[in-house]
Amino acid sequence: MIKVGIVGGTGYTGVELLRLLATHPDVRVQMVTSRGEAGVKVADMFPNLRGFVDLAFTEPNPEQLANCDIVFFATPNGTAMQSVPDLLKTGVRVIDLAADFRLKNPVTWEQWYKVKHVCPELLNDAVYGLPEVNRTAIAAARLVANPGCYATAVQLGFIPLLEAGIVDPKSLIADAKSGVSGAGRKAEVGMLMGETGESFKAYGVAGHRHLPEIVQGLNPLSHVPVQLTFVPHLLPMIRGIHATLYATLYENNVLDLQHIFEQRYKDEPFVDVLPAGFHPETRSVRGANMCRIAVHRPQGGNVVVVLAVIDNLVKGAAGQAVQNMNIMCGLPESTGLKLVGLLP
Ligand SMILES: NC(=O)C1=CN([C@@H]2O[C@H](COP(=O)(O)OP(=O)(O)OC[C@H]3O[C@@H](n4cnc5c(N)ncnc54)[C@H](OP(=O)(O)O)[C@@H]3O)[C@@H](O)[C@H]2O)C=CC1
Ligand SMILES: CC(=O)N[C@@H](CCC(=O)OP(=O)(O)O)C(=O)O
């Protein structure tokens, strides 16, 4: 059994990790931390876990964490980097769901996250945990940087087009919408039902911190640096991301875009390319570790439109983290992740 610890078990991604790991056949969760809820039984706070998780929240104690095989950090940005260097020295392998180890350049990190990185020497060692690109490196990694939610949907949508070299990398536009759970569980006026319900708005148009992450991931697939306009929006729903992606074809000749997408993802257990003409719905991936994608070419013109949906808490966070753990531990990648989306 893999001995697992979770730092930050009371946040939305931490609870989602608990939900997924509670029925994982090869995992024993032996420690879940919360400073605010230390001593409280997990199942008393989250009744969906009654009968599955018989643990109480504890303070994040480094000695207990060192007794785990894998530690997940489901903590705010800038938290994991404080304790990961010491934890790695004990031989524990780490999966960080936050952004601390996603960007390779510490200057870029400081620019977007507004704090100095405390262990920039680990940034090159950390493997970006997008299995559809980095599976081999993830298997050998001691430190995995789990991608951001928007970054997952946007990259999975653009990857086949850039790899095939058929679109102008300077023409990329990502219009992405997220449910409110993307902002986490902490109290915030802007996330109240009265503020978000029956309303819809863009935010972060001047620059969102997933922009450098997406560009860093897509640049190696392109012969010239990509130029991306990324606009996130907040939707009055709880879970889900819908990314509508645009790119301009180099040549307006007939290309089988459907075939390109189907071939790229034919062996991927967690990317589902829909038949031509379909429109994916966020509810089809709610609770599931899946990215559903459709590719369109409106009016046969030279603009490709890709639609990609994920559950921000599953393929956008906890599910992808478990997928990475399976790969790191040599388990079949789908172990514990054969989840069907919740309709309606
Ligand atoms: N929500 C989403 O859809 C996604 C989130 N992420 C990222 O995952 C991480 C967690 O997100 P989310 O679950 O939404 O966050 P929440 O704000 O909902 O939860 C944060 C958790 O971290 C704990 N925590 C906070 N500060 C510290 C600290 N200094 N040391 C130890 N534990 C701490 C909190 O418990 P306590 O304070 O009691 O210790 C709480 O359990 C974030 O970095 C987020 O950006 C990534 C992808 C998607
Ligand atoms: C709706 C909403 O607020 N979403 C979050 C994205 C959450 C996420 O994945 O961001 P991390 O990079 O911090 O992990 C945001 O835009 O900040």
Structural domains in the chain? 2-125 (3.40.50.720), 150-312 (3.30.360.10)
State residue 344's pLDDT score.
87
Ligand nearest to the CA of 113: 2
Q: Is 291 a catalytic residue?
A: no
**Is the whole model's pTM more than 0.95, yes or no?**
yes
Q: Which atom of ligand 2 is nearest to the CA of 209?
A: 12
State residue 253's pLDDT score.
74
> pLDDT tens across 92-111, in order?
999 999 999 999 999 999 99
State residue 73's pLDDT score.
98
Q: What is the DSSP string of 101-136?
A: TT-S-HHHHHHHH-S--S-GGGTTTSEE--HHHHHH
Q: Cβ neighbours of residue 170 under 8 Å, at least 6 residues apart?
A: 224, 226, 227
Q: Which residue has a Cα nearest atom 3 of ligand 2?
A: 183
**Residues with pLDDT less than 50, the chain:** none
State residue 311's pLDDT score.
98
State residue 53's pLDDT score.
96
Ligand nearest to the CA of 42: 1
Round to whole Å and give the CA distance between 223 and 227. Answer: 12
Q: How many CA atoms lie within 13 A of 38 on its CB side?
A: 8
Q: Which residue has a Cα nearest atom 12 of ligand 2?
A: 148
Round to whole Å and give the CA distance between 181 and 343. Answer: 18
Residue 210 CA to ligand 2 center (angstroms) comes to 8
Round to whole Å and give the CA distance between 217 and 228. Answer: 12
State residue 246's pLDDT score.
98
Percent of the chain with pLDDT over 90: 98
State residue 214's pLDDT score.
98
